Structure 1
């Protein structure tokens, strides 16, 4: 749980950078890669992450410019990556300008339950991590190079002069 806004910002910075790196690696062709018939595509998952900032943080009443939850998935990977970048920057700026550490204790209705802002932020972060993991699997299936997030990806081991782990 976050006790201060700076605690959140410190963790969020690393997570949003990892997410942005994954989104920036998408191609237009990869957006249609499905999990399976009748499930989300890679593009839908990417857009879900981009619009979750608006959807989840919006429950707190914080006003900021963002890619809106419920809007159709853009046609290009670049549009999705830019929407996330813009939404994230706008969200963080609005938090810094409007919230204090005391805001973290405020409670808001979130999906029929009362959650503190600190809980909403933690769930926002873990939600993003969860879907980012799903995306990396679909990226491999789509033939994309997956960027390392918490360490080097298979293709990045050589760049650091090491052998990749065994398959």
Structure 2
């Protein structure tokens, strides 16, 4: 749980950069890669979900976010998802600075009517949610023929290049 807005914003800055690293590796063709025949949710849908979920989750906790319209269908261009994510993340950062304070983070909330947590816990859930879907996306990227970037360390290709450079 976060105890200060600044602690969250420092962590968010790192997580936002990692999410953008994944989103920026997407191609327009890769957006169509689905989870499975039985589960039609696509790589593009997951990317767009990262945009909309910020407003959904934080909005459920009372944060008013002036971000992009995410309720539209999933964009067909990867760059539109990247742009939407950048705009929404900036809007979240601005809204948090203006509307919440450190004291609020320790206050309790029943998120979505059934998750007993604190406002700081909501922020932790938002970060974990992003991490969860980034992981899903990197698998779908491989299936779509796109090399996902290393996130918390080098990917296979980056590791091989490191080994090769060491000789």
> Given the two structures, how large is their TM-score scaled by the length of structure 2?
0.90
Distance (Å, rounded) in 2 between the aligned partners of 1:71 and 1:116: 30
Contact 1:109 1:115 in 2 (8 A): yes
Shift of 1:68: 4.2
Distance 1:102 1:128, change over 3 A: same
Aligned pairs for 1:6-45 within 5 A: 6-39=6-39, 40-45=41-46
Contact 1:65 1:90 in 2 (8 A): yes
Task: Find the counterpart in structure 1 of residue 112 from structure 2.
Answer: 111
Task: Find the counterpart in structure 1 of residue 145 from structure 2.
Answer: 143
The RMSD of aligned alpha carbons is 1.8
Contact 2:20 2:82 in 1 (8 A): yes
Distance (Å, rounded) in 1 between the aligned partners of 2:121 and 2:26: 30
Distance (Å, rounded) in 1 between the aligned partners of 2:22 and 2:105: 29
SS of 2:163's equivalent in the other structure is: coil
- 5+ residue gaps, structure 1: none
Distance 1:69 1:55, change over 3 A: farther
Contact 2:44 2:78 in 1 (8 A): yes
Task: Find the counterpart in structure 1 of residue 88 from structure 2.
Answer: 87
Deviation above 3 Å: which 4+ runs of structure 1?
A: 67-70, 106-109
Q: Deviations over 1:89-142 (max 9, x none)?
A: 111011112221012123444222243211111111111100100000000011
Q: Deviations over 1:48-101 (max 9, x none)?
A: 111111100111222222234543111211101110011001110111122210
- 5+ residue gaps, structure 2: none
Distance (Å, rounded) in 2 between the aligned partners of 1:45 and 1:102: 33
Distance (Å, rounded) in 2 between the aligned partners of 1:145 and 1:119: 33
